[in-house]
Structure 1
Amino acid sequence: MLGALVGSIAIYSKTLADRQAGLPVGKRDYGTEAAIKPEAWPICTTMTSVTPDADWVQLDPDFKAGKRALLAGDWNGAIAAFELAALRAPLNADTQNYIGYAYRRLRQLGPAMGHYQQALMLNPRHRSAHEHLGEAYLMLGESAKAEQLLTALGNLCLIPCEEYGDLKRILAAYKGQNGEVR
């Protein structure tokens, strides 16, 4: 009896998964699921796309609070909120990027760079993390590393993108000021 119960649960689970995937029942294509590579993930948005009137209903409450804190310039509040959100979604590259951004605004470059690198490990195509990490390298006086990130952004942005333009402009200003970053 127990075996029949376990078997029926397994069949129901597979059938439910097939329906959710939009496949005919019993004809699930496991090869297609395994073929999706990280490079095919959507490219994440930049910091400037966060608008005050965005629809937050769909978001995690701590992620939402972190975004609001960023908009208000409350860097410590943003860090606290995003760290709570990261506990629930540890694979969210945006969360790591936002934590890094807040730390960088507090001029705490060690933690900032660690979070940017974590974001890039989670999503190597994360344009905003490339830009922000490049800006952090400029704050440390490492323009060669910032240039490498600019090159990487150039490869990610097949058409002109804001992150590439921003880092290019900041890098040019850095070089024009003989190594001084404002």
Structure 2
Amino acid sequence: MRFRHTALGLLFAAGLSAYSLPVSAAGSGWDNQSSPELKEAVKLIKGEKYTEALPLLTKVTAEDPKNADAFNMLGYSLRKLGNKDDALSNYTKALEINPRHRGANAYLGELYLEMNQPNKALERLEILDESCFFGCDEYSELKTAIEKYKSNQ
């Protein structure tokens, strides 16, 4: 009997994972459907070359105004360059396209912490908690950032 419950639990979890794959692939943006410009921009961002990534990301968002991943990465690059207002605008655009975009929710939460708005960061954390059924890096990283923010207050 115990084996049957374990097996059923594993089948259920596998089914949920398979069901959620398209959502997380669509939210991550680093799959085979990404444009070459977006892939190149991500490489530049990983190398902290934010200024060099901006023209590529601007091109992607102009050519594909429904690309939440590109708006998210544009917001991230702008935030790292100190342009909080434009970062906020781009994160907001990404979330208008895909309200459950994990990266945009996490990075927007981090921006809110930088803007001394921890309650808004907590709202982003709640959204991530609802979006990440079995946990996700974005949730963990934002939670850690909020805890660090609170301990420094």
Match of 1:123 in 2: 98
Match of 2:61 among 52, 61, 86: 86
**Does 1:42 find its partner at 2:23?**
yes
Q: Within 2, Cα distance between the matches of 1:81 and 1:167?
A: 27
Q: Which has the larger radius of gyration?
A: 1
Considering fraction of residues, name the structure with more helix: 2
Q: Which runs of 5+ in 2 are unaligned?
A: 1-21
How far does residue 139 in structure 1 lie from its aligned partner after superposition?
Answer: 0.1
How far does residue 129 in structure 1 lie from its aligned partner after superposition?
Answer: 0.4
TM-score, normalised relative to structure 1: 0.67
Q: CA RMSD in A?
A: 2.0
How far does residue 59 in structure 1 lie from its aligned partner after superposition?
Answer: 4.1
List, as ranges, runs of 4+ consecutive aligned residues in structure 1 with deviation greater than 6 Å.
none
1:160 corresponds to which letter in structure 2?
A: G
Match of 1:67 in 2: 42
Percent identity reads: 32
Q: Within 2, Cα distance between the matches of 1:149 and 1:66?
A: 25
SS at match of 1:150: helix
CA deviation map 1:4-61 (0-9, x unaligned): xxxxxxxxxxxxxxxxxxxxxxxxxxxxxxxxxxxxx613128xxx6xxxx97x6423
Q: Within 1, Cα distance between the matches of 2:118 and 2:79?
A: 17
TM-score, normalised relative to structure 2: 0.79
Count of aligned pairs between the two proteins? 131
Q: Which runs of 5+ in 1 are unaligned?
A: 1-40
1:94 corresponds to which letter in structure 2?
A: D
Is the 2:100–2:127 contact (alpha carbons within 8 Å) kept by the matching residues of 1? Answer: no
**Does 1:113 find its partner at 2:94?**
no
Q: Within 2, Cα distance between the matches of 1:172 and 1:59?
A: 34
Q: Within 2, Cα distance between the matches of 1:89 and 1:176?
A: 41
